Amino acid sequence: MQKANSSSSLIEQVEQLHTLLNHYNYQYYVMDEPSVPDSEYDRLIRELIAIEQNNPELKTLDSPSQKVGGEPLKAFSQVTHQIPMLSLDNVFSSDEWEAFVNRLHDRVRHNEKIKICAEPKLDGLAVSLRYVQGVLVQAATRGDGSTGENITENIRTIKSIPLKLKGENGIDYPEVLEVRGEVFMPKSSFKKLNDTAIKKGEKSFANPRNAAAGSLRQLDSKITAQRHLDFYAYGLGYVGNLKNDSKVFLKNSHYQRLCQIKKLGLPMCPEVLLLETTDQVQEFYQNILDKREALSYEIDGTVLKVDDVVLQEKLGYVARAPRWAIAYKFPAQEELTIVEDVEFQVGRTGAITPVARLKPVFVGGVTVSNATLHNQDEIERLGLKINDAVIIRRAGDVIPQIVSVVLEKRHSNAKEIVFPKTCPVCDSNVNRNEGEAVLRCTAGLFCQAQRKEAIKHFSSRKAHDIDGLGDKLVEQLVDEDLISTPADLFKLTEIDISSMERMGVKSAKKLIVAIENAKETTLAKFIYGLGIREVGEATANNLANHFCNLSAIQTASFESLQAVDDVGEIVAKNIIDFFKEEHNLVVVNALNEIMTWPNIVMKKVEELPLTDQTFVLTGSLSQMGRSEAKAALQSLGAKVSGSISAKTHFLVAGEKAGSKLTKAQNLDITILSEEDLIKLFAKYT
């Protein structure tokens, strides 16, 4: 019915929001298969709430804004929560957090410090566990907050949830005790579950939360039992009839309550901390954010609770969320955006990579406008077309990925992605090697794009480290035909360089000096700098240590190459193919004339002091970079690995070393400080 003071377009907008949100809710809660990222859902619900606040007549009882969770599934019996399960409001920035704190102080006229119980926000499912006389009698999902589903049988399969509490009935715990917490699927179990599903050609889950939900909603608890779910308690529900004085159990500190629940045998998240003041929250938030990738379970923020239970009661509730608690969420790792175009980039080795140009979107803390699509197979897997709405994900330092296409948002302007028939840069033939997913330009250094990339690689920090030769300058120099191979760099004159855009005489002079200095190098850097496919720093080092001179590497047989550490059939073939190519030989020979490396016959690898010793580096080093330390170790014959195993001999632990340090300690691996490492270098060099 039309209201006098709401425009019909506003009513339409609200109706559209209802339809969309109800649909997304159904997908999320009933099907355990979200169709859009949480951030998109949050944006729409906030939009709806804002309209409702300004136009109360549009707020109906069945509005999605009035819902706490999902409708209960029909197949499980229903459970009415004796005390409703509340929801949490969100904040997304330090400003919003401070506004929350100010409201706390205003409301309670509390000028003293407010203690905060700080918890990670687990990305799982809220459940309520009911213990009567210490025995687990019922477990329910949150459902809509008042009524949930009876999932007792499924919960019983979770190993960390005790079927019987520790301690004595009526003394250590009350007659009736409801514990609330989050059921979640550890990252490792999630990965295993999805890997198996993919192998069997079955559908995989979008994230550990959906996998946990899907596993808890199994009507057959045998399936749940195979899913390896876990649980952390975060609060209490109904508590009744303690024989002595119920206050004995109910300490007035939320944190201490959690500790007490833990004593009864229920797990509590080890990251939970009691903070003395609200000022410490920002630091907690940052620490948890830094640890996020290393944690064994998925989290999407922190939950901050007024610790004092008396104060909690004074603060009370708004709608169905407490005023004394808030979720301070991390920036979303998944967002919705549009693929505006797909372009093809040619890399150093000729690989033609499709790159999606995105409508810029803020995700995982940065603005993203490109995402690699890897290859044709990936595009087919996604079923992607130009102009599609996609979910983009950026987690930690990982490059942004397109997770999926939101098919229900596809319009008639969706366009097929057409792969180029020839190289998009030089128009030469392209081919796709058998067994490989990538398309390659066959022109090698004759292709302008490959030339540019080869020169950038040659002058990069880990190769010849030519300071002042940025990517843009390389591109200009190649475009102006002043250089076409790395060897040409050494023919450049001050005049050539200073004639480039944004290049003064001073920087040209500096660059000439840097190029001159780059002539002095090591064999390992030289090999690395050639940019042979799949020959990275470590392999280049191994090749240099093994063969000791360039011509030995150039003429090595397929078999003798494979005698080198890290070199298998593929890398050996890449090396041979590289040196077979006439245009590469011209460059290598020219460079061989120009470059100098200590011409002493290098020591054979068996004679190096750290041969056969495996090192792992972790934490930050203050006196040198990690890659510098790695290269120095490798030059002494050591192997440097990325992960700790029983085969590791030494762990070099810098500042803020984390899980690797703990693991190394557990395995009794020798731990070296940065100082120890420097002493080691001093001893051998």
Measured between alpha carbons, how far is 124 from 142 in angstroms, rounded to an integer? 12
Q: Which of 72, 134, 143, 235 binds ligand D41 (CB under 6 A)?
A: 235
Which one, 40 or 271, has the nearer CB to ligand D41? 271
Q: Which of 20, 79, 86, 258 binds ligand D41 (CB under 6 A)?
A: 86
Q: Rounded to the nearest whole angstrom, what is the least distance from the CB of residue 40 to ligand D41 in the complex?
A: 19
Which one, 52 or 182, has the nearer CB to ligand D41? 182
CB 393 within 8 A of CB 331: no
* Residue range at the interface with ligand D41 (CB under 6 A); choices 86-94, 256-264, 445-453, 482-490: 86-94
Q: Which of 39, 87, 215, 260 binds ligand D41 (CB under 6 A)?
A: 87
Adjacent-strand bridge partners of 335:
392
Q: Rounded to the nearest whole angstrom, what is the least distance from the CB of residue 240 to ligand D41 in the complex?
A: 18
- 315-344: contacts with ligand D41 (CB under 6 A): 322, 325
> Taking Cα atoms as reference points, which of 525, 476, 467 lies closest to residue 498?
476
| Residue among 121, 525, 630, 660 flagged as catalytic | 121
Task: State how beta strands 321-322 and 325-329 pair.
Answer: unpaired
- Please tell me whether residue 486 binds ligand D41 under the rule CB under 6 A: no
Q: Rounded to the nearest whole angstrom, what is the least distance from the CB of residue 63 to ligand D41 in the complex?
A: 19
Q: Rounded to the nearest whole angstrom, what is the least distance from the CB of residue 74 to ligand D41 in the complex?
A: 22
Q: Which of 81, 115, 121, 451 binds ligand D41 (CB under 6 A)?
A: 121
Q: Which of 51, 122, 497, 608 binds ligand D41 (CB under 6 A)?
A: 122
The one-letter amino acid at 545: N
Which one, 327 or 587, has the nearer CB to ligand D41? 327
Q: Rounded to the nearest whole angstrom, what is the least distance from the CB of residue 86 to ligand D41 in the complex?
A: 4
- Please tell me whether residue 303 binds ligand D41 under the rule CB under 6 A: yes
State the burial class of residue 553 (Cβ atoms within 10 Å of its Cβ: 0-12, 13-18, 19+).
Answer: buried
Which one, 126 or 136, has the nearer CB to ligand D41? 126
* Residue range at the interface with ligand D41 (CB under 6 A); choices 85-93, 153-161, 192-200, 537-545: 85-93
Q: Is 647 a catalytic residue?
A: no
- Please tell me whether residue 182 binds ligand D41 under the rule CB under 6 A: yes
Number of residues that bind ligand D41 (CB under 6 A): 14
Six-digit token string for 193: 């579950």
What are the helix (H) ranges across 329-375? none
* Residue range at the interface with ligand D41 (CB under 6 A); choices 83-91, 437-445, 526-534, 634-642: 83-91
> Which residues lie below 8 Å from residue 330, measured CB to CB, with a gap of 6+?
289, 292, 299, 300, 301
Measured between alpha carbons, how far is 37 from 109 in angstroms, rounded to an integer? 39
- DSSP class of residue 658 equals -
Adjacent-strand bridge partners of 183:
125, 231
What are the helix (H) ranges across 26-93? 38-54
Question: 451-460: string of b/e by CB count within 10 Å (b at 16+)?
Answer: bbbbbbbbbb
Measured between alpha carbons, how far is 571 from 399 in angstroms, rounded to an integer? 25
Residue 182, φ and ψ in degrees, nearest 5? -115, 125
- Please tell me whether residue 126 binds ligand D41 under the rule CB under 6 A: yes
- Please tell me whether residue 119 binds ligand D41 under the rule CB under 6 A: yes
H or E element in which residue 359 lies: strand 351-363
Measured between alpha carbons, how far is 316 from 103 in angstroms, rounded to an integer? 13
- Please tell me whether residue 88 binds ligand D41 under the rule CB under 6 A: yes
- Please tell me whether residue 449 binds ligand D41 under the rule CB under 6 A: no
Q: Which residues would be at the binding site for ligand D41 (CB under 6 A)?
A: 86-88, 119, 121-122, 126, 182, 234-235, 303, 305, 322, 325
Known catalytic residues are 121
